[in-house]
Amino acid sequence: MDATIVPKMQKHYPVLLKEIISVISPQHGGTFIDCTFGQGGYSKKILDFKNTNVIALDRDIESAKIANQLKENFEDRFIFKNIKFSQLSNLKLKNENIRGIIFDLGYSYTQIKDPLKGLSFSDSGKLNMQLGLNSYSAEDAINKLDEKELERIFKFFGDEKEAKYIARNIIKERSKKIIDTKVLVEIIDKSKKRKNFKVHNATKVFQALRIFVNKEISELIFGLINATKVLKKGGVLGVVTFHSLEDKIVKYFF
């Protein structure tokens, strides 16, 4: 299932909420796993139906604040775990009737606008991009990896056509440590020979760095594998993807 990125708004809403709910059919009851809890859009909607239970996961510890509020209203029906969705098999589920598992692979408006996360190329922020439970940051990658390693990341994770020039210029410019997103955007802008007025010049590099820092490809693969292990026969696995690399993996897996 594919999705397009929604316009900026003050509150994050799952882009395919109605469609996912119609597919997983929570009106029939059962337990559902929300693998990307975020701001709780899917979980809240599922819990509106009686005889439902939700196990929510999110690697971003900030999501725990919203999860705690939800726990107050649905104490016996809602559980939150601050883990990666690749760790689904660690939940030690016994007799739960897992009827649906949801992955929404986008990130929320609050994450994008958080300057400490540095996910946005439109605002100045810390060159971080860690979504939680990480081993390294975008700052580490930009300042420590060699030219060939950076080129591969931009090329394979971002499909960036000018990966070689961007990587080369990053190496030239990092005699003074690169720690701000705006500085990286300026380097990318200067490196691009072909300007795209429909898509921001930094889009593909930022996507590639985020994927690399959060190990999103291996996380997705292991998440899907482990989801099928815990899903009951006749259950539904719903995945919302946001770019072609994710989309290819999910479709191939299905």
Phi, psi at residue 50, to the nearest 5°?
Answer: -70, 160
Residue 8 has pLDDT above 80, yes or no: no
Count the helices and strands in the chain (H runs, E runs). Answer: 11, 5
pLDDT in tens, 78-87: 999 999 999 9
pTM as predicted? 0.91
Residue 153 has pLDDT above 70, yes or no: yes
The average pLDDT across 181-192 equals 97
pLDDT at 147: 98
Instruction: Reply yes or no on domain 17-110+216-253 having CATH 3.40.50.150.
Output: yes
One-letter amino acid identity for 156? F
The H or E element that residue 57 is part of is strand 52-57
Q: Where are the domains of the chain?
A: 17-110+216-253, 135-213
Q: Are the C-beta atoms of 63 and 71 separated by less than 8 Å?
A: no
Q: Given pLDDT bands bounded at 50, 70 and 90, which one contains residue 12?
A: low
User: Higher model confidence: residue 89 or residue 129?
Assistant: 129
- 150: Cα separation from own chain's centroid: 21
HSE-up (13 A, CA, CB side) for residue 32? 30
pLDDT in tens, 102-122: 999 998 888 999 999 999 999
- Cα 70 to Cα 39, 174, 200: the distances in Å are 10, 45, 37
- The CATH number of 135-213 is 1.10.150.170
